[in-house]
Structure 1
Amino acid sequence: MAPVGTNSFVLTVLFLNFFYSFVSCLYFNIGAAERKCFTEEIPDDTQLTGNYRIQLYDKHRDKHLPTPQDLGIFVVATDPDNKLVLSRSYGSAGTFEFRSWVPGRYQICLRSSSQRPLFPGGLLTVHLDIRVGERTNNYTKIAAEDKLTELQLRVRQLTEQVQQILRELDYQRLREQHFHEVNHNTNMWIFWWPVARSLYVVAMITWYTNSW
């Protein structure tokens, strides 16, 4: 029988995968020299894809303007060890992607790739949809390229969903192990700090006593 915690995590992952299919892309405004960053918890060997589109926004007139041809975004992504995994300029609409090589928290930062300042009151509106793992697959394209039947496609989709859940479980175990290590170290520090402080006080009293 699987542990209760494992069963709960599997159910959580399944519910998240279900609700993710209904989440629309977010959007935000940034200035010409501003940078916006996000973090994503990703297992190892997992694909991340960001679909984006930018618009020029005039906050004084509260309306979007035609997007200039030279307007784009610059994307920088770093892994949990702060190592660079992506650093590239993109156009006004498109897709950026990378694959994780270690599990953990990845940071994704976006800013304007244009060197020229925007007009007063001008902002960039970024529409962004980040997909991780199995959700990055285009099953319509896969079915056409591999000539899969509807049943074969469904089996492949379920297989990849199970593989993604297993990667999530492995990552959860690593997080739990790290939490236990931090908790153990904290408890040891709490235990030994009063002891060390008491020994220090005794040593100082002994030194002052002998000095007399």
Structure 2
Amino acid sequence: MRVSILSSIFLYLSIANAFYFYITGGDRKCFYKELSQGTLLVGKYDVEVYDPNTDSFSKTTAKQLGVIIDVEEVFDDNHRVVHQKGAPNGEFTFSAIDSGDHRICFQPQSGGWLAKVKTKVNVDFEIGDNEKLDSKKKGKVQSLTEKVKILNNKILDIKREQKLMREREASFRDQSEKTNSRVVRWSIIQLVALGATCAWQLNHLRTFFVKQKIV
């Protein structure tokens, strides 16, 4: 298998961590990175395939294309410390055991018509010591934790408002029932008073007619 070295981008990589390069499917391209002992390297990659119909590069699926990533210690007779096969996009993490030059290689692999298709590999590196990168991750976790706390507080506020609304509705309902009960009682009292008044008037008229010897 032919091995190609991207010597033209080595100097560029020393000052930039994000780049891309072109490669024919099945070929293997490598570049070097000098890492100190304990340095943590986090790499994110995204492979796109060339579409002659649109004359552009587009994303593909894991069923169509895979990527082999190797990290080798050049100073230790090219000892391979990372061998990872993954999807067309993803990430890999490597912690340098010893100081020295490390060779990082990408090799897209596919079958069928994609076997020799031109591909574009986008790479983004984050390099630093374990504590620094871990602190960044902890910072992200803390940020997410704070956002979750804010959302939980908002949910609690909404629940409190809903509880207050239910209490107000219950109070209004109780007040309405009391008012209706009072209206019913007052109506009954009025009917009783009206009936008593009618009975008294009838009795008074009957007594009056008797005295007048009308009946």
Cα root mean square deviation, aligned:
2.8
Secondary structure class of the residue paired with 2:97 = coil
Q: CA separation of 1:60/1:128 partners in 2, compared to 1, >3 Å: closer, same or farther?
A: same
What are structure 1's unaligned runs of at least 5 residues? 1-18, 148-212
1:39 corresponds to 2:6: no
**Deviation per residue, 1:63-118 (Å, 9 max, x gap):** 12341332121001111211111001011111111111110000011001324452
- Alignment-derived partner of residue 130 in structure 1: 125
Secondary structure class of the residue paired with 1:37 = strand
8 Å Cα contact 2:70-2:82 kept in structure 1? yes
What are structure 2's unaligned runs of at least 5 residues? 1-13, 144-215
Computing the radius of gyration from Cα coordinates, the structure with the larger value is 2
**Deviation per residue, 1:118-138 (Å, 9 max, x gap):** 277x31111001222149726
* Aligned-partner residue type, residue 103 of structure 1: S
* Aligned-partner residue type, residue 57 of structure 1: Y
8 Å Cα contact 2:47-2:59 kept in structure 1? no
8 Å Cα contact 2:26-2:110 kept in structure 1? no
Equivalent pairs counted in the alignment come to 126
* Aligned-partner residue type, residue 55 of structure 1: E
TM-score by length of 1: 0.51
8 Å Cα contact 1:51-1:95 kept in structure 2? yes
**Deviation per residue, 1:159-201 (Å, 9 max, x gap):** xxxxxxxxxxxxxxxxxxxxxxxxxxxxxxxxxxxxxxxxxxx
Q: CA separation of 1:119/1:36 partners in 2, compared to 1, >3 Å: closer, same or farther?
A: closer
1:72 to 42, 66, 70: 66
- Alignment-derived partner of residue 153 in structure 2: none
Percentage of matched positions with identical amino acids: 26
* Aligned-partner residue type, residue 137 of structure 1: L
Secondary structure class of the residue paired with 2:139 = helix
- Alignment-derived partner of residue 182 in structure 2: none
Secondary structure class of the residue paired with 1:137 = helix
